[in-house]
Amino acid sequence: MKYDIFEKFCLVVFYENSDGGDYLIEDGELFGKTYVDYIYEQFSNDLLNQFAYNLELQIFYINLDNFDAINNIQQEYDEIIYIFLIDILMVANKSVWINNLNRVNLKQYSNSLCTIALTNSYIYMDYFKEIQCYLIYKYDRVENVLRLQIGQKILEVLIQMTDESKPGKSSIFISYTQKDFGINFAWKITQWIQTHTTLDTFFDFYDLPPGELFENHIKKNIEKDHNLFLAIKTDNYTTRMWCISEVLNARKIEIPILVIDAVMIEEKRSFPYLTNCKTIRADIKFSNDDDNSIQINNIDYIISEAVLELLKAKVNTLRQKFIVKNINIRNIKLLNNQPDLFNLLYSLKDSSYDNSIKTNFVYPDPPISNKEETEIKTLISKDVSLTPNSITALYNSCNSININALDIQNIELGYSVATPNDISKYGYLDRHLYSYLIELGRYFIYHKIKFSYGGDINYSDEISYMKAFAIMTDYYREDMSYKITNYLTERTKNRISLNERIKYEAYVNFIEPKYLMDETYKENDNIYISKARSNMRIQMNEKITSRIVIGGRITTTKAFCGILEEFLLAMESRKPIYLIGVFGGMSKIIGDIIFGKVHPDELDYKSFSTDNQLVAEYERLENKKFDYYSIFKSLFNQTTLLNNGLNLEDNLELFSCKNPRRAFQLIAKGISHHTKSDIS
């Protein structure tokens, strides 16, 4: 069963991954690989903002090193948008690129191609000579125009996919006041949209036909399909009757709203119904105190943000229609935004809903805080449930379980994670894995399920799992005793400053190393690290009740693969193991062996270690052999070793699960079944 309509929809970004080698490259050239993380942040998941309203679209990244990954992606996904970041290096390697592109014949998908020119040399990329190319290298702020063009393409494809009877264009309704400079601001916005985008606009100064009632025409244009309400909030905006009327109409029909804060001195009254929506501060400049000479310095950012808000609304609508169609829930009301008193109370007045029974409000992810939810329910004084899309889809699906009925006091999950060497082989970046782990952690925290993580609190220069988990713990928890656990090694305990300990101590239990090593291990730094981590894994395994295994390096510079060691410790102590292999790495090798997909004889054991002398010395100190072949032979086709309460079908689904929320539900289902079997 599908749990998200976008399980069969994805973006594929093609980019040149080389560094230019010996080429002499002129200053000012833009490079595709500079923007791959930005595209992920805008159209999938913003890792540095745990409470952002994300699109969560699946994105894959293809370069010449992993080009063959496109074959599996095309087999798995029904609808794909192909995005090309054409830079000077792609043009330089055009013969190799074109040979690869001809093999997969992407020209047959011309309506789904989005070609971005980052260089004026794009004209030499013959493959795209008959395809429209967005020349974003001509703009000063490339990121804004990149987001605008990709966002428009996704909108166009989604509308064509889902609204065949009335495809139409996306449109922006511009709301402003004529009393101050609002009309000039609105005119500048309208001109920019008409010049640089494919969007329609409604600007009443020019778009109101003669002979039609003003109020009726305004209302009709607010209610258009694929519409966004752009409120230009100047000093007098919230004092004007027509502006207030427009805002209320937009709120009642729940179209997306974007507020542009252009207040120069003060608002006489902040309008209470112009909240719970995105607000952008306008960067305005006047010349000679003349309102007609207004310059909006961030106009490209404003319009690209408007496109993103339109896209979020479209994606949310499709997700919610899918929920209603596939899941049997009585008295459901869908919200296009997170809940507030206006959209809830207005919805409860709807005569099509039975107010004698509980109303189930479903809103876009992520979940609001428990404190906010409790306060809203108290003020409404009605029996309602407030759940985000993902929880509604998962909890009300077939074979679901009551998460809240779990005996969470006796559960502590252990994270086993490391970035795989081969993650790019599957079209992923490191941030795909980071995003998955953080989102999985969100739902453990939201449901007060304790979990542990071993090693360095700052996993990479960019991402700190513990920082993300601590922020979410502060936001979601009601019981102040709930904390995440971080097991330290003799090495990592000295890498956490006193300031960090004080900062995180309210959210994280730092566990000092219990097992200390003999001095002979410290003569070689890699042996020291290997033993310190091994001791930490043994200590952690004594405390946790289950183990989640994701990723893991195949080739290690240490004495033994850490992910495999953690798996074996959990297996030998009969702890449930939840195996996720979608990102490749050692967890995929373990799963392929356990599920009988790959025989141990087929593996390349030379790739597992970079230093055989190190391994030999560590084996001597430990007085045991680390024989990968024997280990894998004992695991071959032994699915019962997972001991996790899931049947084979569920374990195979979890193993290849790309949706972290679905993975959470499967893990919770396994915990529930395993707990019941323990009791019986």
Domain-located, residue 492: yes
Q: Which two tokens stand for residue 611?
A: 């230093």
**CATH number of the domain where residue 202 is located:** 3.40.50.10140
Domain-located, residue 440: yes
**Mean pLDDT, rounded, for 560-574:** 94
Residue 223 has pLDDT above 70, yes or no: no
CA dist., res. 585 & res. 582, Å (int):
9
**Mean pLDDT, rounded, for 611-629:** 88
Residue 579 has what pLDDT? 98
Indicate whether 207 and 238 sit together in one domain.
yes
Question: How many C-beta atoms lie closer than 10 Å to residue 569's C-beta?
Answer: 20
Residue bearing the bigger pLDDT, 171 or 22: 171
Q: Kind and range of the H or E element at 619?
A: helix 612-622
Q: Which domain holds residue 550?
A: 403-513+546-679
Q: Which two tokens stand for residue 337?
A: 């935004």
**Full 3-state SS string of 469-521:** HHHHHHHHCCCCCCCEEEECCCCHHHHCCHHHHHHHCCCEEEECCCCCCCHHH
Residue 214 has pLDDT above 50, yes or no: no
Q: Is 134 helix (H, G, I), strand (E, B) or coil?
A: strand
**Mean pLDDT, rounded, for 551-578:** 92
Residue bearing the bigger pLDDT, 407 or 673: 673
Of 281, 309, 337, at which residue does a domain stop? 309
Look up the pTM and report it.
0.91
Which runs of consecutive H residues, i.e. helices, occur in 288-369?
A: 299-326, 341-348
Of 94, 125, 141, at which residue does a domain stop? 141
Residue 554 has pLDDT above 80, yes or no: yes
Residue 215 has what pLDDT? 57
Segment 12-71, tens digit of pLDDT: 999 999 887 778 888 889 999 999 999 999 999 998 888 888 899 999 999 999 999 999
Q: What percent of the chain has pLDDT over 90?
A: 46
Segment 488-510, tens digit of pLDDT: 988 777 777 888 888 888 999 99
How many structural domains are present in the chain?
4
Q: Counting beta carbons within 10 angstroms of the beta carbon of residue 152, is it exposed (0 to 12), middle (13 to 18) or buried (19 or more)?
A: buried
Indicate whether 355 and 421 sit together in one domain.
no
Residue 222 has what pLDDT? 64
Residue bearing the bigger pLDDT, 618 or 458: 618
Domain-located, residue 161: no
Domain-located, residue 451: yes
Domain-located, residue 79: yes
Indicate whether 488 and 605 sit together in one domain.
yes
Residue 675 has pLDDT above 70, yes or no: no
> Please, which residues have CB within 8 angstroms of residue 289's CB and are 6 or more apart in sequence?
none
CA dist., res. 103 & res. 106, Å (int):
9
Residue 224 has what pLDDT? 61
Residue 173 has pLDDT above 70, yes or no: yes
Indicate whether 289 and 425 sit together in one domain.
no
578 contacts 546 by C-beta, under 8 angstroms: yes
Indicate whether 236 and 218 sit together in one domain.
yes
117 contacts 88 by C-beta, under 8 angstroms: no
Residue 208 has what pLDDT? 45
Backbone angles phi, psi at 58, to 5 degrees: -75, 130
Residue 205 has what pLDDT? 52
Residue bearing the bigger pLDDT, 563 or 349: 563
Cα radius of gyration rounded to whole Å, the chain: 28
Indicate whether 625 and 484 sit together in one domain.
yes
Indicate whether 380 and 430 sit together in one domain.
no
Segment 143-160, tens digit of pLDDT: 999 999 999 999 999 888
Indicate whether 135 and 76 sit together in one domain.
yes
Indicate whether 437 and 578 sit together in one domain.
yes
Residue 101 has what pLDDT? 92
Look over the chain and give the mean of its residue pLDDT values, rounded to a whole number: 86
Q: Is 130 helix (H, G, I), strand (E, B) or coil?
A: coil
Question: Of the ranges 51-65, 333-347, 349-363, 633-647, which one carries the lowest mean pLDDT score?
Answer: 349-363
Q: Which two tokens stand for residue 561?
A: 């693969």
Residue 680 has what pLDDT? 38
Indicate whether 336 and 212 sit together in one domain.
no
Q: Is 62 helix (H, G, I), strand (E, B) or coil?
A: strand
Indicate whether 472 and 585 sit together in one domain.
yes
